């Protein structure tokens, strides 16, 4: 473990916000975590557990210690057609998806091209194109900062929901994930429930996990900007969820409104549609702007700081609230 001081975080967040960390530790073994936490010089400082930095907004310099999770390793257990994977938190998520696909282990192919680490996947229950982590997650292991013990939490204990989990609620800032366990299968069960996928893969007879992954990667590349050339944090807002009654009133007023029914009877609204209707798509405010192809992706076109990004987000929230009476919640975690 190396402990560095006064480190630039610009390359460690996909919005490319130029902020610095007072301390920065590269965590390469579970023992590193205990060592850092036992260091009296760091004990009272704030902590930021960092994976790929693709879902955070740095409001300013971070005055505490960043624990950059660089744990590596994948173990596989065979059980009939099931493959039980133990994946270290620092493994790259997209590389994991591609590795599994190449091995013929299916279930996460729709989650291809999502940036970030495996350890962060349960935090907001990553999801895309009809699949979410909850569909394959068995358990999560890590260090409980409250009880100061290593623990294994079942998927149920993780309380996964749409873009949320116990790690964004009761256990926020309390658990450092070191490993996730996934249940995959050697039996292909392609999921083409998402409308945009259906359009690309209209010939359903030839649909395979490989063709689904290829289609998802192509749709993503056509819709979402690459953070390496246009720094962003993916969707900046969650899709708002409203009651069925509220949705039907809105639908009468705005017949073009894009909605999805939820299993619990409530209705999810397309935040991108709401933002686009308010005229924000493609607009710029100083060095930040809204991507011309995706109305809920905010892009840092220069060296904008967190405050500038958040000022734009606030202006968008304000106009969506005024026009539709709907409040947009920011998806990335603010530090
Ligand atoms: P970070 O940004 O490093 O951290 C995010 C949060 O998780 C922080 O609060 C951090 O403290 C916490 N955290 C990270 N690792 C750990 C750990 N080991 N233990 C405890 N806490 C931890 N998300 C989707 O769901 N679907 C998408 O389709 C999608 N597309 C995206 C496209 C782009 C271009 C971008 C930039 C982002 C996209 N995202 C998407 C968001 C992002 O990729 C995911 O949220 C991802 O899981 C974040 O991983 P990370 O390692 O970068 O997390
Ligand atoms: N739309 C617009 N204007 C736009 C973009 C989209 O009106 O500029 C409308 C379209 O009608 C489209 C609908 O909004 O049908 C939904 O758009 P899209 O399919 O692009 O998905 P999204 O709801 O914007 C969500 C996730 C993404 C995930 C995709 C695919 C959230 C907050 N975002 O985006 O996840 O990749 O679906 O499943 O749920 C992320 O979380 O960072 C992320 C990128």
Beta bridge partners of 298: 290
Q: Using a 6 Å cutoff on CB, does residue 114 contact ligand 2?
A: no
Mutate to test the pocket of ligand 1, among 21, 25, 93, 120 (most ligand atoms within 8 A of CB): 120
Mean pLDDT along residues 58-85: 98
Question: What's the 203 CA to ligand 1 centre distance in angstroms?
Answer: 33
Q: pLDDT value at position 298?
A: 98
Which ligand 2 atom is nearest residue 130's CA?
38
pLDDT at 131 over 70: yes
Classified as helix, coil or strand, 136 is coil
Q: Using a 6 Å cutoff on CB, does residue 127 contact ligand 1?
A: yes
Q: pLDDT value at position 328?
A: 98
DSSP state of 72: -
Q: Domain spanning 3-69 has what CATH number?
A: 3.30.43.10
Q: pLDDT grade, residue 202 (50/70/90)? A: confident
Question: What's the 128 CA to ligand 2 centre distance in angstroms?
Answer: 9
Query: What are the distances in angstroms from CA 317 to CA 118, 298, 310, 323, 326?
Result: 30, 13, 10, 10, 9
- 205-248 pLDDT, tens digit each: 689 999 999 999 999 999 999 999 999 999 999 999 999 999 99
Beta bridge partners of 185: 82, 106
Task: Return the CATH number of 74-185, one of 3.30.70.260, 3.30.365.10, 3.30.465.10, 3.40.1350.10.
Answer: 3.30.465.10
Instruction: Give the residue extent of every domain in the chain.
Output: 3-69, 74-185, 232-334
Higher-confidence residue: 315 or 204?
A: 315
Classified as helix, coil or strand, 157 is coil
Q: Using a 6 Å cutoff on CB, does residue 299 contact ligand 1?
A: no
Q: Using a 6 Å cutoff on CB, does residue 236 contact ligand 2?
A: no
Mean pLDDT along residues 58-69: 98
| pTM across the whole model | 0.98
Q: How many CB atoms lie within 10 A of CB 226?
A: 13
Which ligand 2 atom is nearest residue 223's CA?
20
Q: pLDDT value at position 114?
A: 98
Q: pLDDT value at position 17?
A: 98
Strand bridging mode 62-69 / 47-50: parallel
Task: Tell me which H or E stretch contains 140.
Answer: strand 137-144
Q: pLDDT value at position 204?
A: 60
- 258-307 pLDDT, tens digit each: 999 999 999 999 999 999 999 999 999 999 999 999 999 999 999 999 99
Task: Tell me which H or E stretch contains 310.
Answer: helix 306-324
Architecture of the domain delimited by 232-334 = Alpha-Beta Complex (3.90)
Which ligand 2 atom is nearest residue 196's CA?
19
In the predicted model, what is the mean pLDDT of the chain? 97
Specify the residue with its C-alpha closest to ligand 2, atom 43: 235
DSSP string covering 184-243? EESS------SHHHHHHT--GGG--HHHHHHHHHHHHHHHS--TTTS-EEEESBPPPEE-
pLDDT at 160 over 70: yes
């Amino acid at each position: 473990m190396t402990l560095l001081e006064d480190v630039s975080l610009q390359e460690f967040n996909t919005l490319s916000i130029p902020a610095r960390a007072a301390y920065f530790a590269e965590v390469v073994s579970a023992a590193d975590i205990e060592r850092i936490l036992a260091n009296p010089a760091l004990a009272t400082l704030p902590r930021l557990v960092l994976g790929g930095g693709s879902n955070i907004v740095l409001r300013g310099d971070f005055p505490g210690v960043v624990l950059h999770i660089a744990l590596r390793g994948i173990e596989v257990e065979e059980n009939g057609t099931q493959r039980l994977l133990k994946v270290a938190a620092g493994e790259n998520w997209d590389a994991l998806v591609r590795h599994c696909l190449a091995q013929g282990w299916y279930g996460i192919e729709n989650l291809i091209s999502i940036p970030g680490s495996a350890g962060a996947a349960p935090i907001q229950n990553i999801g895309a194109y009809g699949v979410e982590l909850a569909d394959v997650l068995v358990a999560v292991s890590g260090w409980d900062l409250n009880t100061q013990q290593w623990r294994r939490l079942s998927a149920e204990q993780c309380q996964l929901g749409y873009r949320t989990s116990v790690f964004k609620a009761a256990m926020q800032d309390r658990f450092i994930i070191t490993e996730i366990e996934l249940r995959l299968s050697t039996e292909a069960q392609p999921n083409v429930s998402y409308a945009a996928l259906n359009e690309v893969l209209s010939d359903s007879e030839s649909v395979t996990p490989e063709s689904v992954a290829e289609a998802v990667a192509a749709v993503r590349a056509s819709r979402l900007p690459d953070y390496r050339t246009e720094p962003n944090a993916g969707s900046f807002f969650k899709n708002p969820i409203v009651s069925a009654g509220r949705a039907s009133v809105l639908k009468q007023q705005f017949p073009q409104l894009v909605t999805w029914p939820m299993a619990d009877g409530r209705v999810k609204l397309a935040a991108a549609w709401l933002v686009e209707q308010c005229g924000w798509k493609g607009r710029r405010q100083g060095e930040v702007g809204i991507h011309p192809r995706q109305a809920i992706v905010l892009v840092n076109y220069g060296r904008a700081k967190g405050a500038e990004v958040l000022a734009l987000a606030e202006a968008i929230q304000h106009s969506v609230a005024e026009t539709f009476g709907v409040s947009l919640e920011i998806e990335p975690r603010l530090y």
